[in-house]
Amino acid sequence: MGDTLRQIGQRNDRVQQIKAAADWLGANNNKPVAISELAALAGMSATSFYRHFKAVTGYSPLAFQRHMRLLGARKLLAAGSANVSGVAYEVGYQSASQFSREYKSMFGSSPVADLQR
């Protein structure tokens, strides 16, 4: 049973390490991120980190960051932010057109339409 218990403990440690990285991404989603830095934060190699992150969250680290950015943008638009470009830059996008494409892909409507609602 020792090996089994050790594996369960290791999985729980990995989940905690991934949670720490996901929390960092959520709190800093408007900043550029290097996977190698996140992996170091989690105490893993980049390959291991990527694999474990995707297993725990269902997203790659960059897709998770994109998801968090878009959710933050939707909140800002719902709160009545002044313009779509400002929201795009505020949540960390470098291109308003890329932001609009990804926003529409995720939510099914353009950010302008959501802002007008």
- Looking at per-residue pLDDT, the higher value among 80 and 21 belongs to 21
Give just the sign of the alpha carbon dihedral 55, 59, 60, 62. Answer: negative
In the predicted model, is pLDDT for residue 45 greater than 60?
Answer: yes
Token readout for 53 is 């992150």
pLDDT over 70, % of the chain: 90
In the predicted model, is pLDDT for residue 43 greater than 80?
Answer: yes
CB 71 within 8 A of CB 59: no
Per-residue model confidence (pLDDT) at position 10: 52
Structural domains for the chain: 2-61 (1.10.10.60), 65-116 (1.10.10.60)
CB 30 within 8 A of CB 91: yes
Q: pLDDT per residue over 62-92, tens digit each?
A: 999 999 999 999 999 888 777 889 999 999 9
Per-residue model confidence (pLDDT) at position 61: 92
Name, in order, each residue with C-beta under 8 angstroms of 97's C-beta and a sequence gap of 6 or more: none
What confidence category does residue 11 fall into, taking pLDDT thresholds of 50, 70 and 90? low
